[in-house]
Amino acid sequence: MKIPCSLFTCFSAGSLKQESKHVEEGGSGEESRFRVFSHSELKSATRGFNSSEKVGEGGFGIVYKGRLRDGNIVAVKVLSIELESMRGEREFVAELATLSQINHQNLVPLRGCCVEAAHRYLVYDYMQNNNLHHTFLGGEERRMRFRWELRRDISIGVARGLAYLHDQLNPHIVHRDIKPSNILLDQNFTPKLSDFGFAKLLRDEKSYVSTKVAGTLGYLAPEYATSGQLTRKSDVYSFGVLLLEIVSGQVVVDAYEDTDRFLVEKVWAAYRSENLIRMVDPVLKTAFEEEEAIRFLRVGLLCVQETARLRPRMTEAVEMLSNKIEMGGIEISKPGFVADLRNVKMRHQLPIIHESTSSSSGAHYGNSFWSSANLGR
């Protein structure tokens, strides 16, 4: 799919604060669901941004549940990013309208936005089963709801969503922030990636950073964390960590353990001792397919290899998980990981690294990523 660039030319020179304005999809004749909402509509949908409607809070703002006049349930993200860092009104809406054209069953649909004075809001379809971090990780009881078949479907779904962003879009999109809280689950537990393309809303894409980044360093590819190289293979690394978590039921870094804290290391040790099966989540007891679970762990290890070019592309990962590629002869080399936050130092003006295939989004990082404030969190 090609992402249309001139999609937003249908907005007139006047104010963007138009009630329920629809944006036509460029050239296809289909009508997009994307709308520019009025502030009053979002206010009444969320009962005045009532704290009882708050579903969570991330590094970029608070998310509320809302009911639109037509009865549809949405999630409204109130951005708390400094205005100067964000694109101007028109560009901001245009970027979102473009992003809303990206449709895939494993991506959270973007319904629209609202620009009201200094405030910006994003409106998404509401995902009933929250996110993987909340619903899956954090306790045996939660994990028991995720039988093996569901874990398999979620893993393959996430891989497909990423493969779509990486290999079907032109220019491709590097997600940059694959982690359990960005994998939302709909009413059928179908996984949907959220927050993709977020960096495009900022004036300087390179300054994209989740302020919670230090808490999620375990998902960052080591080359990205330590020298700022961001490519599709950085997402592959993060996906690998996520996959190991889904199969093992263990978190990426276990803060309560003195030794054996890092999941990636534990799975690597099990692989070296030819006993990968011991890493499968014990709450599954024997209710899983052994050959498949081991294959998933091997794919996870392939994705987290230290050398980025040895990691598979996401499209290949989908094939491996679906058992369409023979994995028998594939060598796995040692994993990389960011073992110590102190290794991540404040850097200034490191060169921008491009992938061999050009991309508007296959880039970089900004100084804010390295700020001591972020690392302190």
Ligand X SMILES: Nc1ncnc2c1ncn2[C@@H]1O[C@H](COP(=O)(O)OP(=O)(O)OP(=O)(O)O)[C@@H](O)[C@H]1O
The catalytic position among 125, 153, 177, 340 is 177
Instruction: Dump the DSSP string for 301-362.
Output: HHHTBSSGGGSPPHHHHHHHHTT-S--TT-----B-----GGGS-----PPPP--SS--SSS
Query: What is the pairing mode between strands 119-125 and 73-79?
Result: antiparallel
Residue 96 interaction partner, one of ligand X, Mg ion, none, beta carbon < 5-8 Å per kind: none
Binding to ligand X, residues 205-234 (CB under 6 A): 210, 212
Least distance to ligand X, CB of residue 329, Å: 38
Single out the residue of 108, 154, 270, 280 in contact with ligand X (rule: CB under 6 A). Answer: 108
Would you say 212 is a known binding-site residue? no
Continuous H helices in 14-147:
39-45, 89-99, 132-135, 140-144
Binding to ligand X, residues 311-330 (CB under 6 A): none
Q: Which is nearer to ligand X, 179 or 232 (CB)?
A: 179
Binding to ligand X, residues 73-102 (CB under 6 A): 75, 77
- For the chain, strand residue ranges (E) read 21-24, 31-36, 54-58, 61-67, 73-79, 110-116, 119-125, 183-185, 191-193
Q: Which is nearer to Mg ion, 4 or 59 (CB)?
A: 59
Single out the residue of 30, 57, 140, 204 in contact with ligand X (rule: CB under 6 A). Answer: 57
Which amino acid, residue 13? A
The size of the interface with ligand X (CB under 6 A), counted in residues, is 24
Assess 248 for contact with Mg ion (CB under 5 A): no
Does the active-site annotation cover 195? no
Assess 131 for contact with ligand X (CB under 6 A): yes
Would you give the DSSP letter of residue 133? H
The rounded distance, in Å, linking the Cα atoms of 33 and 23 is: 8
Question: Quick check: 109 and 125 in contact, CB under 8 A?
Answer: yes
Contact mark string toward Mg ion, 171..210, x via CB under 5 A:
-----------x------------x---------------
The rounded distance, in Å, linking the Cα atoms of 317 and 117 is: 44
Q: How many CB atoms lie within 10 A of CB 52?
A: 8
The size of the interface with Mg ion (CB under 5 A), counted in residues, is 3
Least distance to Mg ion, CB of residue 173, Å: 15
Least distance to ligand X, CB of residue 72, Å: 12
Cα 231 to chain centroid distance, Å, stands at 14
The rounded distance, in Å, linking the Cα atoms of 50 and 44 is: 10
Assess 32 for contact with Mg ion (CB under 5 A): no
Least distance to Mg ion, CB of residue 58, Å: 5
Residue 56 interaction partner, one of Mg ion, ligand X, none, beta carbon < 5-8 Å per kind: ligand X
Hey, which residues does 116 pair with through a beta bridge? 119
Write out the two tokens for 254.
């276990």
Q: Which is nearer to ligand X, 124 or 164 (CB)?
A: 124
Residues that bind ligand X (CB under 6 A): 55-60, 63, 75, 77, 108, 124, 126-127, 130-131, 134, 177, 181-182, 184, 194-195, 210, 212
Catalytic residues: 177
